[in-house]
Each structure stands twice: as C-alpha cells, then as structure tokens.
C-alpha cells in the first residue's frame, strides 16, 4: 500500500474544533477496496455526537455570520491554498479508501478545492436589492442573510469534492455546518478538517460526524429545529427519506440524487469524438458517478461503427489498483456494488444482450469488473432502467430524432444528458428537448465550479457550484422601511 501521510490519517470525529472519539468508544473499519486491507478504525458516532456538533455549529453561527465577507473570504482562500499544496497526500488517501486511479483522485482534490476558491470569491458578491417604492413614505429593501446551521450528508464516490461543494458556499454565506461523510470514505473528509483548522476556520463552524450508521445521524439532523438546511448527495431512495423527515420542520433541502444519463449519438456526429466522449463519461471512477453515461442510444446509420470503435477502445483500458501508474479503471467500492453489476449483466444476457467486450468480473481482485460494452439492449432489461454504477456501456438503437428524445426522457430521472451531433438545428432542438438539469453537447466532460450542477425530476432539487450555488444558503428578507 502507498504510504499515507500520518498528518492526514485522522480517525476521530471533528466537533467544535476538537478531535473526539465516539462517546461509546465504538469504531468502524475503513478498508481499501483494491485489496480489502484495513486502512483505519474510525470513531463510530451517532445521534448524541450529532447533537453536540449541532450545538457547536449553532453557537459558532452568530460570530461567523457577523464577520465581514472579506474576512470569511480570506479564511476560505487559505483553506483552498492548503488543499492545493497538499493535493498529493490527499489524493493518496482518497485512492486508498475509494479506489479511483490516483490521477482521478488528484483531479477530484483540485476540483473540490476549486469550489472553495470560487465561493471565497462569491462571499463578497452576495448582493441584496433596493426595490423602487410604491409609496413616498416607505422604502423596500431586500437583504440576503445566511440561512443558519447546515446539515450535509455526502456520498463515497466523490469523498472530497462533495463536501467542499456544500461546505464552501455554506461558510461563504456565513452559515456553519455539520457534515456526515459516507461510511466507506470518511478519511478524505477528516483530512479536509485538518486543513480547515489550519486555515483558521473557527471551532464549531465546520464539524464532521463519521459513522457507520447513517440513519440515526440523519434523523438527529432533520429533527433538530436549529438545522435550517439539509444538503444531500446520494441515492434517490435516501433523498426521499430525508425530504420526508425534513418536512417535519419545513427544513429547506437541496438534493443531488441519482441520474440515469442518456448518451445519444446521431448519424451526423463525429464518431471518433463520440467514442472519446463516451469513454470519458462512462468509465470515470469505474462508472461510479451520478453523471456517468448510463443509457447509450445510437442512430441506425452509425450504430455498428460506434459500437465497434467503443468496444475496441474499451478493451485498451488499464485495470488495476488506483495507486499503480497508468491505471484507468480501479475496483468498485464494495461487494454490494459488484453484485449489482453482476446481476444487471446476467439479466441483460438472459434477455438477449450481445457482449462485445468484457461482461465478467476481473481477476485483479474481489471488487474489480472488466470494462464492458453490450448491444441489443431492450427496455425490458434491468440495465435499461437502473443506474448501473459500474463500467458497463449498454447500447440501444434508434431511428429518428423524436424517438431519440422520447427515449432519453423516458425515465423518472433528469440529471445529465450527453449527445453528439453536428447539425446546428438538431443541436438546438435536442438540447431544448432533453429533460435534464445538465446537457453536454459533443463532449463527455462538463463539470466545473463555475457552472450549475443539479437535476430535475427525481434527480434532485437545487443547484451546486456557480453563482447560483450560493443561493441555496441564503434567505431573502424583505424589509419595508416606513415613516420616511
């Protein structure tokens, strides 16, 4: 195993600026998905520690909110710089607990840091308004104020960036936060806290509650009236649970949930570019992102060429431990993830899918699956209706543009969509017709801190990143100033 920097290998929770064990003394194991070895035993916290963290965040809130925007901005900027300076060590830790190739892990650390830089800048631009008055004796003013204590729950597939994407705008706006990282990947989160502390983020402003039992922590957050906002990234099923719980106190929610991204290739596309886009979108993090291409639809005239070229390029992908040079596909996160992909493949095969390459687990280790391309997919297959979260490209044919848009939209989800086409009229029609929060045209990669990320339908509520992302963490106050 790569040597991990002991400075960042923290095993306690981080509450009120202190590193603390669970009150019960319980711990849970964090393992390396590449070989199942133990990396650390982390404090296994629960509702009690969550309440302590909320107490701390609640107490820290007025002081943090009262600082000038410039002051909060400088502190966030310092955090950003420290993360960038330590990117290699953070990436090694991320690969160890999550499995993704080191280059991707480093990319995530930098991408995650970019939200802190961005919102450090946005902190200074949270403008209110003065509205022209309807009466001579009064004036109308709109204030934007921090919403309060934020509860954030994050997934394992981006253990660093999903935290910064929530915590940076929260802190920038003047909010404080309690974060529950995913049970598979708490170490990257704890490492971020090491640097937050060093950057001067005050005790209580950013708290981390690691746990192997998510539900009681989620309940402690959603049932507490001091939590004014829940920001969640994860599955649609858990998003629904949290939204229901948040309804008790009408707590605001931002939800970034599952996707089922269509990837459309039209007859007029540049096929080589479409293949490169497909590789980039499909196989990032071994297929384990909510914006990975999930359903490929390819027009009749180019179907065979695209399928053949994609299969050839897929065969070339290097599979292995994420800490080995040149590796492009690491392990899946855990045994349940592998079982799911195996089930989807078995079902697809039984219902007539044709395997062009892959189709089996890979002998590199217990959690590896061979990058796969299948064709002849039909709507009865589970793989056509499920977020795969593994390195499997599942291809269907289509005949015309209207059919393609209808197929792409025929899902309860609406996060990202991709399509490749050159005809300008078609590009506009398809872009407008897709029911998703994000559309990538002639590219397989689109994420950036400067653009809004989020979904429609059952893929979520709200947007993260960009100038829109800060809005999730402020309340609008309408002030009517009379007696002028």
By CB under 6 A, name the binding residues for ligand ADP. 153-155, 180, 182-183, 214-215, 218, 234-235, 238, 241-242
The Cα-based distances of 398 to 79, 302, 354, 387 in angstroms read 49, 10, 17, 20
CB-side neighbour CA atoms (13 Å) of 22: 19
**Annotated catalytic sites, by residue?**
256, 290
What DSSP designation does 12 have? S
Write down the number of H helices and E strands in the chain: 14, 22
Least distance from ligand ADP to the Cβ atom of residue 42, Å: 13
Each as own residue / partner, the long-range contacts of residues 357-363 (CB below 8 Å, 24 or more positions apart, any chain) are: 357/311, 357/314, 357/315, 358/314, 358/391, 358/392, 362/319
Q: How far is CA 153 from CA 25, 192, 221, 222, 454, in A?
A: 22, 15, 10, 11, 16
Locate 228 and state its tokens: 């004014």
Least distance (Å) between residue 423 CB and ligand ADP? 37
Nearest distance from residue 243's CB to ligand ADP, in Å? 11
412: part of which helix (H) or strand (E)?
Answer: none
- Token digits of residue 294: 């999930």
Cα angle value 5/10/14 (rounded, 5°): 145
Smallest gap from residue 227 Cβ to ligand ADP (A):
13
**Closer residue to ligand ADP, CB minimum distance, 48 or 121:** 48
φ/ψ of residue 314, rounded to 5? -65, -40
Smallest gap from Cβ 212 to ligand ADP, in A, equals 8
Q: Are strands 227-233 and 252-256 parallel, antiparallel or unpaired?
A: parallel
Is residue 83 a contact partner of residue 91, using CB atoms and an 8 Å limit? no
Residue closer to ligand ADP (CB basis): 55 or 154: 154
DSSP at 473? G
In our burial notation (b when 16+ CB lie closer than 10 A, e otherwise), range 275-310 reads bbbbbbbbbbbbbbbbbbbbbbbbbeebbeebbebb
First-to-final CA distance of the chain: 71
Q: 122 or 183, CB closer to ligand ADP?
A: 183
Q: Which is nearer to ligand ADP, 234 or 469 (CB)?
A: 234
Give the count of beta carbons closer than 10 Å to the beta carbon of residue 143. 13
Cβ-based nearer residue to ligand ADP, 337 or 474: 337
Closest CA to 210 of 183, 237, 229: 183
Q: Which is nearer to ligand ADP, 49 or 183 (CB)?
A: 183
Q: How far is the CB of 357 from ligand ADP (least distance, A)?
A: 27
The least CB distance from residue 390 to ligand ADP, in Å, is: 12
Residue nearer to ligand ADP on the CB measure, 182 or 194: 182
CB of 428 to ligand ADP, least distance (A): 34
From CA 161, how far away is CA 115, in angstroms rounded?
8
Q: Nearer Cβ to ligand ADP, position 47 or 93?
A: 47
Nearer Cβ to ligand ADP (182/279): 182
CA-to-CA distance for 56 and 341, rounded, in angstroms?
42
User: CA 274, 278, 284: angle at the middle one, nearest 5?
Assistant: 150
Note the helical H segments in 226-270: 236-247
What is the closest distance, in whole angstroms, from the C-beta atom of residue 166 to ligand ADP in the complex?
A: 12
Q: How many CB atoms lie within 10 A of CB 136?
A: 7
Cα distance between residue 227 and residue 152, in whole Å: 10
Instruction: Please say whether the beta carbons of 416 and 261 come within 8 A.
Output: yes
């Amino acid at each position: 195993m790569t040597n991990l920097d002991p400075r960042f290998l923290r095993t306690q929770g981080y509450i009120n600026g202190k590193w603390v064990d669970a009150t019960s003394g319980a711990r849970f194991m964090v393992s390396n998905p590449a070989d199942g070895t133990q990396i650390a035993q982390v404090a296994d916290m629960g509702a009690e520690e969550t309440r302590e963290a909320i107490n701390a965040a609640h107490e820290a809130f007025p002081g943090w909110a009262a600082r000038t925007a410039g002051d909060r901005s400088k502190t966030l900027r310092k955090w950003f710089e420290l993360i960038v300076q330590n990117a290699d060590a953070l990436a090694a830790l991320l690969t160890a607990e999550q499995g993704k190739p080191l280059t991707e892990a480093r990319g995530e650390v930098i991408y995650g840091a970019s939200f802190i830089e961005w919102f450090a800048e946005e902190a200074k631009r949270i403008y209110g308004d003065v509205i022209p008055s309807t009466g001579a004796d009064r004036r109308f003013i709109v204030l934007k104020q921090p919403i309060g204590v934020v509860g954030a729950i994050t997934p394992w597939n981006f253990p660093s960036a999903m935290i910064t994407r929530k915590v940076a705008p929260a802190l920038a706006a003047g909010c404080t936060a309690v974060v529950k990282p995913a049970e598979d990947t708490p170490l990257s989160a704890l490492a971020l806290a090491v640097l937050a502390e060093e950057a001067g983020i005050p005790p209580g402003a950013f708290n981390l509650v690691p746990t192997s039992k998510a539900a009681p922590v989620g309940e402690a957050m959603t049932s507490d009236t001091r939590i004014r906002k829940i920001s969640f990234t994860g599955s649609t099923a858990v998003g629904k649970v949290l939204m229901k719980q948040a309804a008790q106190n009408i707590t605001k929610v931002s939800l970034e949930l599952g996707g089922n991204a269509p990837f459309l290739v039209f007859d007029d596309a540049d096929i080589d570019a479409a293949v490169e886009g497909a590789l980039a979108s499909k196989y990032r993090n071994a297929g384990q992102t909510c914006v990975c291409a999930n359903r490929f639809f390819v027009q009749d005239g180019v179907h065979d060429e695209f399928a053949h070229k994609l299969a050839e390029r897929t065969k070339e992908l290097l599979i292995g431990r994420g800490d080995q040079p040149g590796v492009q596909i690491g392990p899946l996160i855990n045994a349940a993830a592998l079982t799911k992909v195996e089930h989807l493949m078995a079902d697809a095969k039984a219902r007539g899918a044709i395997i062009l390459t892959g189709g089996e687990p890979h002998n590199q280790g217990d959690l590896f699956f061979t990058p796969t391309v299948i064709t002849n997919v039909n709507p009865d297959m589970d793989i056509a209706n499920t977020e795969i979260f593994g390195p499997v490209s599942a291809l269907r044919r289509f005949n015309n543009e209207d059919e393609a848009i209808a197929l792409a939209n025929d899902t309860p989800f609406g996060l990202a969509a991709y399509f490749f086409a050159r005809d300008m009229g078609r590009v506009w029609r398809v872009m407008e017709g897709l029911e998703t929060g994000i559309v990538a045209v002639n590219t397989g990669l689109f994420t950036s801190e400067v653009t809004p990320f989020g979904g429609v339908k059952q893929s979520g509520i709200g947007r993260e990143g960009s100038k829109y992302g800060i809005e999730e963490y402020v309340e609008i106050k309408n002030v009517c100033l009379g007696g002028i």
